[in-house]
Chains A and B, each alone.
Chain A
Amino acid sequence: MIARLLIRIIALAAMAYLVLPLVVIMGASLTQTSYLAFPPQGLTLKWFGVLFDDPSYVSAFITSTLLALAATAVAVLLAVPASLALARYVFAGRAGVSSLLMSPLVLPYVVLGAALLQFGNDFGLARSFEALLVGHVVIVMPFVLRSVLPLLTPEQRALEEASMDLGGTPVATFFLVVLPQIRGGIVSGALLAFISSWINVELSIFNTTSALNTIPVKMFNYVQYTIDPTIAAVSAITIVAAALVIILLDLLIGLDMLSERQQP
């Protein structure tokens, strides 16, 4: 019983530890003072206004959004055929292909970012939107693969074969049979991909410039020199956006993965 109580206390303290910084940032973004204060002194939304009046923030928001959207779209277009190949075919080097495509998950992003900068330099690609894009595609693709692959089961395959037996062309079968079955995986994978791209610093930082900047990199460079309520306001926006995406994911695929005795 004492052990149980102790676990309870540690767990609740851990939850507080996880939530505290986010609450502090959101609170501090509402302060009326021109320095960061928590608890906030007075309530105002003016820091959000300051943000939207600053063209460099607006353009960073646009760059980040376009980058995350494009990277996700390309990653989905590459990951869906790759997962079909990995799930449907037995071929020499299959394990190798699979680890290659998954490896960005464990790779230090700093290394890949540096590599893309240097590689880009040789081809005149460095510090461009394209250089950012290809890097982001590489790091977000594993998320899509990982959520689509488990859906390509033998049962799913049987339906695919039935469609072909009934005279469906491969293209029609893909769009009418396979795609609807893996749509859930594509959507949740794409959401994860979008977020991972949207929050990345380590990879982007090498290929951004003051004119071509993403939100997290801009924040990173800013926070090292100044801390003020505007930065809390940007942070608060990203926290709210993240929370919305997660609630969406929860409704879509159900995040209650910790329920006891769930199906493995």
Chain B
Amino acid sequence: MAASRTTLALLLFAPLAFFAAFFLAPMAVVALTSLTTDDGGLTFAHYARILFDQYHWDVLWVTFRIALATTALCLLIGFPLAWYLVRIVRWRSWRRACVILIVVPLFTSNIVRSFGWMVLLGRTGLVNQGLMGMGMTERPIRFLGTETGILIGMVYILMPFVVLSVGNALAKIDTALEDASADLGVGPARTFWFVTLPLCLPGAVSGAIMVFALAVSAYVTPALLSGGQITVFSMLIFQQYSSVFDFHYGGALSVTLLVLTLVLVTLAGRIGERGRRAA
């Protein structure tokens, strides 16, 4: 037993030391700085500043609104796509090609993908040309610098997560359960609602959590598509560290975002867990 303890310690030493030095310690420094003044005294002033400033609540509200809308749209579009790939596509090669096409964007940087939308959504971009060509609008619609523009980019970037997690859940469902429901005289709509949906709920929830957490902390996409017109929470952090150099206040903002993300992920994780147990 002693030998195995030694082996365990040897195996874990390097990874844990690395994470302690370059992950936990920096985070601790940030947390500590957020609670101190320049001369080292303890203070909650930086948090109070966030809490009592209307501007922060506005930014938080915009951030959450975009993240919520992103999550909802990702589910709304991602679910049918996952269903199509798992249940409707018969031709294996086409499904394989689709999966590759869904994964390629995930492996391409946010910059490249947001940049694609900057080009598409511009005044003379393909989207406006298309809309005007179809007579749906007379003048080009302004997308860049609006929440709609950010939303289009965010849904685009995060949807693959939903498709993959819902698709995985759908693929694992034993269709015999649905057949049984149908044999018992239950209609397709009710079978879907009471059998299929609950079975893939954990997958959908875990995909949604991932999307929401990533959307709340997103920086690159909103920064590029907002054109400086709209501020989200991560931009505030970036400003403090890159131009204002107020590490105390930046630290407080970082800790706020971190805690928010962790709470959301844990909360949604519990819901997913319950769904899994119920199913």
Query: Cβ of B12: which chain A residues have Cβ within 8 Å of it?
Result: 81-82, 85, 97
* Closest A residue to B176 using CB positions: A261
Query: Cβ of A106: which chain B residues have Cβ within 8 Å of it?
Result: 210, 213, 261-262, 265
B105–A22 CB distance below 8 A: yes
Query: Cβ of A104: which chain B residues have Cβ within 8 Å of it?
Result: 23
Question: Is A111 an interface residue when CB atoms closer than 8 A count as contact?
Answer: yes
Binding stretch for chain A, among B54-62, B92-100, B135-143: B92-100
B116–A201 CB distance below 8 A: no
A38–B126 CB distance below 8 A: yes
Interface centre among A79, A170, A199, A231 (most CB of B within 10 A): A199
A110–B171 CB distance below 8 A: no
* Closest B residue to A9 using CB positions: B80
Question: Is B85 an interface residue when CB atoms closer than 8 A count as contact?
Answer: yes
Within 8 A of A (CB), among B229-276: 234, 237-238, 240-242, 247, 250-251, 254, 257-258, 261-262, 265
A202–B219 CB distance below 8 A: yes
A246–B107 CB distance below 8 A: yes
A107–B261 CB distance below 8 A: yes
Question: Is A140 an interface residue when CB atoms closer than 8 A count as contact?
Answer: no
Within 8 A of B (CB), among A239-261: 239, 242-243, 245-247, 250, 255-261
Known: A7-B83, A85-B11. A223 touches B224 (CB 8 A): yes
B95–A257 CB distance below 8 A: no
Interface centre among B7, B170, B216 (most CB of A within 10 A): B7
A239 to B105, CA, bound (A): 8
B108–A256 CB distance below 8 A: no
A14–B77 CB distance below 8 A: yes
B242–A223 CB distance below 8 A: no
A227 to B123, CA, bound (A): 14
A227–B254 CB distance below 8 A: no
Within 8 A of B (CB), among A74-101: 77-79, 81-82, 84-85, 89, 91, 97, 100-101
- Report which of A84, A85, A242 forms a contact with B108, defined as CB distance below 8 A: A242
- Report which of A14, A25, A100, A235 forms a contact with B19, defined as CB distance below 8 A: A100
B220–A259 CB distance below 8 A: no
Question: Is B119 an interface residue when CB atoms closer than 8 A count as contact?
Answer: yes
Query: Cβ of B224: which chain A residues have Cβ within 8 Å of it?
Result: 220, 223-224
Question: Is A66 an interface residue when CB atoms closer than 8 A count as contact?
Answer: no
B4–A239 CB distance below 8 A: no
Question: Is A216 an interface residue when CB atoms closer than 8 A count as contact?
Answer: yes
* Closest B residue to A258 using CB positions: B167
Q: How many residues of A contact B (CB 8 A)?
A: 87
Query: Cβ of B2: which chain A residues have Cβ within 8 Å of it?
Result: none
B171–A108 CB distance below 8 A: no
* Closest B residue to A264 using CB positions: B172
B84–A110 CB distance below 8 A: no
Within 8 A of B (CB), among A29-76: 36, 38
- Report which of B22, B126, B223, B241 forms a contact with A117, defined as CB distance below 8 A: B241
Query: Cβ of B168: which chain A residues have Cβ within 8 Å of it?
Result: 257-258
A7–B105 CB distance below 8 A: no
Question: Is A18 an interface residue when CB atoms closer than 8 A count as contact?
Answer: yes
B85–A11 CB distance below 8 A: yes
Query: Cβ of B191: which chain A residues have Cβ within 8 Å of it?
Result: none
Query: Cβ of A183: which chain B residues have Cβ within 8 Å of it?
Result: none
Query: Cβ of B186: which chain A residues have Cβ within 8 Å of it?
Result: none
Within 8 A of A (CB), among B145-181: 156, 159-160, 164, 167-168, 170-172, 174-175
Question: Is A195 an interface residue when CB atoms closer than 8 A count as contact?
Answer: yes
- A197 CB to closest chain B CB (Å) equals 11
Question: Is B88 an interface residue when CB atoms closer than 8 A count as contact?
Answer: yes
Q: Mark A170-198, 1 if CB is under 8 A from B, else 0.
A: 10000000000000000000000001001
B29–A235 CB distance below 8 A: no
B77–A10 CB distance below 8 A: yes
Within 8 A of B (CB), among A189-215: 195, 198-202, 205-206
Q: A residues engaging B (CB < 8 A)?
A: 4, 6-8, 10-12, 14-15, 17-22, 24-25, 28, 36, 38, 77-79, 81-82, 84-85, 89, 91, 97, 100-101, 104, 106-112, 114-119, 122, 134-135, 137-138, 141, 170, 195, 198-202, 205-206, 216, 219-220, 223-224, 227, 231-232, 235, 238-239, 242-243, 245-247, 250, 255-262, 264
A and B contact pairs by CB, cutoff 8 A, 28 listed: A18-B156, A20-B120, A22-B104, A25-B112, A78-B15, A81-B15, A82-B16, A85-B12, A106-B261, A107-B258, A108-B217, A109-B219, A110-B238, A118-B26, A118-B241, A119-B29, A220-B223, A224-B223, A235-B116, A239-B108, A246-B104, A246-B107, A250-B100, A255-B103, A257-B168, A258-B168, A259-B95, A264-B172
